[in-house]
Amino acid sequence: MKYNKTLFIFCILLTTLLSCDSEVVENTANIQISVTQNGIPARGIHVCMFDSNHSTTSSFFTPFFADDEAVTDLDGNVNFEVEFFDDSEIFYFGVFDGDNCIGSTSVSVTADEIKYGIIEIGDGHRGGYRLQEIITENVITVHSLNYSGDANNRSFLPIQLPPNTVKWFYSVSSNFARPQNETLDLLSDLSRYLDPTNGILADIINSLDAPTGTADFNVYFIKDNENLDIFNNKSGNFLYYPEGSRKNINSGVVDVEVSTENPTTWYLGIENPDSNDDIYVLIEVCALVYEEE
């Protein structure tokens, strides 16, 4: 009888333990890691994630023992969705050169949170962003397709970008009549969104506009003289970059996510597809530049 009572108590305890285990809830959270190099968002960087057992002081903090890995996007960000069973958890993130950690951070999370961390992989230099106007508001006349003079229906603008250009912008409006009072105000509009520390957010371009035009035209981003000559002379197929090119537009603001470390001259080729009427293209160009202190 005593044996049966002991067995009964043991079964109750076992049932209780199993019941507690069944109530354990798996938690999730989202973590965004931003990687910067000398203050500039670092694209295409591999970020490794470790759980709390593999902290930066652990001998296991090497890429081989990473729980997950992802690559930063154009804005230097990478997102992880993490799972854990405790009320809170610490996750560690590292950037490696081979097996050597060149930057790391830790993030403490609780359930259903969105948390953020920053990894700086530069040499400690700091600087800031500024806007530089490359072309002030300028009107370009582009002749019609059937123009009988020496020129044709194509023209171009050289875009002389300063060193350390992170991205650049142009605003355009095209009309069959020469513009009188229209203004683009691109530099002024961009300045309202400039953060000297972080630059300009990628999604602000949808908040900017240019005066609506009446004449559709094509604009091509061309990087070299050879293809510019082909474009101007209509001597064959020319190479242009879809990033920064637009077809059949009459107005708009375009951000060109193409950077350059050195002074660079690129081109915007402008084409008037109208058979009989010249067009007048109002254009302004600005660059976002990062300067070290």
CATH number at residue 53: 2.60.40.1120
Of 120, 144, 172, the one marking the end of a domain is 120
Quote the number of domains for the chain. 2
State residue 1's pLDDT score.
46
- C-beta atoms surrounding 177 within 10 Å: 11
Tell me which of 71-85, 238-252, 271-285 is least confident.
71-85
Based on the fold, state whether residues 111 and 167 are members of the same structural domain. no
With a pLDDT cut of 70, the percent of the chain lying above it is: 89
227 and 269 inside one domain: yes
Q: Above pLDDT 90, what percent of the chain?
A: 59
Mention every residue, 6+ apart, whose C-beta is less than 8 A from residue 129.
166, 194, 195, 196, 197, 198, 199, 200, 288, 289, 290, 291
Q: What is the mean pLDDT of residues 234-252?
A: 95
Of residues 85, 179, 147, the one with CA closest to residue 276: 147
Domain range for residue 108? 2-120
Q: Which residues contact 159 (CB under 8 A, 6 or more apart)?
A: 134, 135, 168, 170, 265, 266, 267, 268, 285
pLDDT tens across 127-164, in order?
789 999 999 999 999 999 998 878 899 999 999 999 99
Same structural domain, 83 and 116: yes
115/30 Cα distance (integer angstroms): 6
Helix (H) or strand (E) holding 187: helix 186-191
> In this structure, are 102 and 148 located in the same domain?
no
pLDDT band at 4 (very low <50, low <70, confident <90, very high): low
Tell me the CA distances in angstroms from 240 to 49, 93, 210, 288, one per residue in order: 39, 39, 24, 22
Which domain-ending residue is among 53, 87, 120? Answer: 120
Position 6 scores a pLDDT of 54
In the listed set 120, 151, 176, which residue is the last one of a domain according to the structure?
120
Does residue 176 share a domain with residue 84? Answer: no
Q: Does 42 share its domain with 146?
A: no
Q: Could you tell me if 11 and 95 lie in one domain? A: yes
Q: Mark whether 54 and 165 lie in a shared domain.
A: no
Residues 271 and 230 in one domain: yes
Alpha helices in 2-82, H assignment, sequence order: 2-22
DSSP letter at 45 equals -
Burial class (CB in 10 A: 0-12, 13-18, 19+), 44: exposed
Asked if pLDDT for residue 32 goes beyond 90, the answer is yes
Q: Are 29 and 115 in contact (CB under 8 A)?
A: yes
Collapsing DSSP to helix, strand or coil, 63 comes out as helix
Shared domain check, 156 and 86: no
Does residue 92 share a domain with residue 159? no
